[in-house]
Each structure stands twice: as C-alpha cells, then as structure tokens.
A = this chain, B = another copy of it.
Amino acid sequence: MEDRFLEYIPMLNGLPQEHIKKLASSAIYKSYKAGELIAVPGEKIRAFLIIAWGRVKLFSASADGHEQTIYIFGPGEPFCMTAIEDSSFPANAQALEDTRIVMLPSDVMESIARTEPALMFNMMSVLIRRLKESMFIIEMLSMKEVPQRLASWLLHSAAVQLSGKTIHLGMSHRELSKLLGTTPETVSRVFRRFQDENILEIKGRTIGLLNRKKLEDIATDAD
C-alpha cells in the first residue's frame, strides 16, 4: 500500500517506474508522535525525509529556550535536503502532530540522480524554493513591528497559495507567533485590529483579504 505513495511525490516526478520501485524497496517508514523530535542540529542523516502524513516544523532553538520557526512542512513535502552532501542537519525538526515519515536512503537517491537529470532538477527546484522562503523570513524578521510582519506574511502566503483573496492559516496563533518572532497574544491582538479595520475577514482558519492595498501599505510601513 505505502509503496504506491512514492508515485505521488512531486520531487520524484518524471522518474521512470524502475527507479520508483528501487526507491520503494529501500524506503523506511517511521512514525512520530505529536511533539516528538525527528532530527536535531548537527545530526548526520543519510536519507531524504518525506512526509507521508502529518506536519513537521523546522526550527532553531537558542540555549535560553527561545524558538524560531523556519518552515512548516505538510504531506508530500521533502526535507533534510542536506543529505545529498553528507553534511549535518542544520536545525531541529519536530512532529507538530502525529506524523509518518518516509526515509529514502541518500546513496540510492544519489545513484539515481547521477543517471536521471529529472531528479536532480526536481531536487534543485526544492532547494531554490526553500532558499526563497528563507529570504522571505529574513526580510520579515528584519521588520521591526509585528503588524508589518503579519501583513507581509499574509501577502506572502496568498502568493505562495496562489490565491488572490483567501488564504488558509495552516497553523494555530501559537505556531504563527513562533514564525513571526513574537507572542501568541500579540498575533491575536493584531488579527483583531486588522478585523476591526476591515482589512481581514476571519472565519476559523480561513482568512479573507478584504483590503489588499491597506495590507501592502502596512507591510511596506507606508501606513
């Protein structure tokens, strides 16, 4: 059953069936409970990890316990791309909910990549997406005010989700606050302000962008 899963992974798109089978036979599936750590900084992981189901948070943690979320990954998304280099894992990876992971050994991935440019291009494409996402987070963290950060994040999410007017908030205010580098209370307060000013319409985790222009003004601090 689980072997068919690999056929639907975007990173393995365009790979001949024989290679998918080879990967499937060497794949290791592993389950993690919500909150469980999957990898820590400096760990050598000789496998590409792909989420079968569940969600994984990548974050950095300082010794005083301060956490900064870098990405949140969902089903089908690969992480631990550093495996290609035999280099150490650069952050913490934690299951946000009960999660099942497929581990594809990097020596098998590498041997396929050497003969299949499609796989290389796919992997490069993932790396470029991550790099652009990192640059967005750097830009956002360099902003001084939380309303500015939240406005930028909403516009960025709308662009990434390819939805002009509605975005799905794939996380709690608590998780979002760790991404924005602030507290859950501040996130909730700014959301309320944006609602009061008719900038956003919030229904559960669905957020309608009512006034995009205003959001852009806040994001660029022209408010």
Interface, chain A (partner B; CB < 8 A)? 60, 62-64, 66, 68, 70, 81-82, 84-85, 87, 90-91, 113-115, 117, 120-121, 123-125, 127-128, 130-132, 134-139, 141-144, 148, 181, 220-222
- How close is A191's CB to chain B, nearest CB, in angstroms? 21
A87 partner residues in chain B, CB cutoff 8 A: 128, 132
Q: Is the CB of B138 within 8 A of A68?
A: yes
A181 partner residues in chain B, CB cutoff 8 A: 141-142
- How close is A57's CB to chain B, nearest CB, in angstroms? 13
- How close is A9's CB to chain B, nearest CB, in angstroms? 18
Please indicate which of the listed interface residues A62, A121, A137 has the most CB atoms of chain B within 10 Å of its own CB.
A62
From B70, B113, B114, B128, A81 is in contact (CB under 8 Å) with B128
Q: How far is the CA of A131 from the CA of B85 in the complex (A)?
A: 13
From B82, B113, B141, B221, A117 is in contact (CB under 8 Å) with B113
Q: Is the CB of A64 within 8 A of B222?
A: yes
- How close is A187's CB to chain B, nearest CB, in angstroms? 16
Q: How far is the CA of A176 from the CA of B167 in the complex (A)?
A: 37
A70-B138 CB under 8 A given contacts A124-B120, A124-B124, A222-B64: yes
A142-B141 CB under 8 A given contacts A127-B127, A130-B131, A132-B82: yes
From B62, B70, B127, A220 is in contact (CB under 8 Å) with B62
Q: How far is the CA of A135 from the CA of B141 in the complex (A)?
A: 12
- How close is A92's CB to chain B, nearest CB, in angstroms? 11
From B81, B82, B132, B141, A138 is in contact (CB under 8 Å) with B141
